[in-house]
Amino acid sequence: MTFLNDKCQELREYIFLTIANNFTRLKILDPYRYLIYKLSGISINGKADIFGPLTIRPIGKASNIEVGMGTFLNTDIRFGCPKHKVIIGKNCQIGPRVCFETVNHGHIYEKDKGRGMNTNPIIIEDEVWIGCGAIILSGVRIGKGSIIAAGSVVNKSVPKQTIFGGVPAKKLKDL
């Protein structure tokens, strides 16, 4: 029965994600797009502004994404979340082309096994601003009120009320 439930979730996600990602971009309709994303299986706790399109990999894992009330997700955001969640708090601002990748691979290639895979959740606390094109990697927690500069690669957790930027992201200053 689990297999059938998984397939139903994949189909539901595929249908509603496709509709939401192609929902007409009219200002009058923007406040309602989040409802269609919610039907795809994403947990959205209250009203959120989601411009889309969103990419979710693998298909069927929309339930691994949680978005808080008042959060804004800009265009072309990618969620790689096969096993662990990406949790985005309340009143966050996520810029265009931000990637959330809960998967990391090992450094050593083993014949017939590959590099292996480990996954950890990503947690974005309330009131965080993530700039355009940033990449948030497996196991990262970004503290309340922090800012991530555009184009940054965040590979370690960020304390609250700080600005991080660069590749890899480093502390630039306290807020």
Residue 77 is which amino acid? I
- Mean pLDDT, consecutive 10-residue stretches, the chain (175 aa), reads 76 90 81 92 95 91 96 97 96 98 89 88 98 98 98 98 98 96
Query: Topology of 2-174 in CATH?
Result: UDP N-Acetylglucosamine Acyltransferase; domain 1 (2.160.10)
Side chain identity at 156, as an amino acid letter?
K
Is 84 considered catalytic here?
no
pTM summary value: 0.92
| Contact between 18 and 39 (Cβ < 8 Å) | no
Is-contact 169 135, C-beta < 8 A? no
Q: What pLDDT, on the 0 to 100 scale, is given for residue 1?
A: 58
The neighbouring-strand residues paired with 130 are 94, 148
Candidate list 105, 115, 156, 170, residue with the active-site label: 105
Domain spans of the chain, in order of start: 2-174
